[in-house]
Amino acid sequence: MLKPGSEKLAPGSSVVSIGVYDGVHLGHRHTLRQVIDQARSSGRQAVVATFDQHPAFVVRPEHAPRLLCDLDQRLELLEEVGVDVTAVISFDAARAAEEPEAFISSVLVEQLGASRVVVGEDFRFGAKRRGDVALLRAQGVVHGFDVVGVVLDTNGGEPVSSTRIRRHLAEGKVAEAAVLLGRVHELRGPVLHGDGRGGPELGCPTANVHVDPVMAIPGVGIYAGWYRDDELGAMPVAISVGRRPTFYESSDPLIEAHLIDFDGDLYGRSARVSFLTRIRDEVRFDSVDALIEQMQRDVEAARRMCEAHGSQAPGY
């Protein structure tokens, strides 16, 4: 990782792409493949300039989207696909007001040494979103880099986009989201103490994973997926994203993961929960016994689904 301002790449030494790259989904990877291939063929470094936070949190916070991955995940995924250097740029009010020509000169040319800039054909940046592919090309003539505008990747006749993936997740369509992500959707957070009901009362202990509220959480429901932490490999889980209507009139959705065939203390661990497929909607049961019976069926369904899709277990 490179922080612009503290380090500089040699002039003309890189092929650079710019963007938030939230999710590093298949549409992003379509562009990144061109960055990496063109860098390799010319003996240069493949570089991505991204931001420490989504620009919407600064320019329109009331409409900021839920995130598909946090910064650490984004950096891991960019490295996984073959990016040599990721430059993390601070995005604040001053950056939002910066003219695109100034960004090109100070970041792309002076700090990242761009010989070529590769972006999606609809890419916009800079104050009032004035920067686009045409402006990049004009500035490339001035600064000595060329520009490639990449046609957007599509799936099912629609562009693969972070917005489309967020919509799938909000609707609980985690399998459809995984197709566009190129991986199962993963959320991270510490395992915290809950109300203590899962094990003693329901016979189904769960890891209560606290996720940052800015993250894109799947819609309320029951899912099959995997749990991981620094000590455990990928373990199959039945996951509840729910408000626990059998016990409470209303509550904020919680992520509770029951690790199948596991008995141990997970409190305080940094957990990773991945969503393979939806099992059912969350419903209110008339009795605790009815809930327990359904939970047992959910666990067996999750077991079967994970066994059938073992090759999709998260590996990063």
All residues at 6 or more sequence positions from 193 whose CB lies less than 8 Å from its CB, including other chains: 208, 267
Contact between 278 and 225 under an 8 Å Cβ cutoff? The reply is no
Q: Which of 200, 207, 241, 210 shows the shortest CA–CA distance to 224?
A: 241
Q: Which of 186, 167, 163, 148 shows the shortest CA–CA distance to 69?
A: 186
What size, in residues, is the chain?
Answer: 316
Helices and strands (DSSP H and E) totals, the chain: 9, 13
Distance CA 23, CA 66 (A): 11
Instruction: To the nearest 10°, report the CA torsion of 240, 246, 251, 253.
Output: 10
Q: Cα–chain-centroid distance for residue 280? A: 24
253 vs 180, 219, 256, CA distance in Å?
25, 9, 10
For residue 65, give both structure tokens. 């989207």
| 276-287 CB burial, b ≥16 within 10 A, e <16 | bbbbeebeeeee
* 249 has catalytic annotation: no
Point out the catalytic residue in the list 99, 201, 256, 293. Answer: 256
Residues marked active site are found at: 256
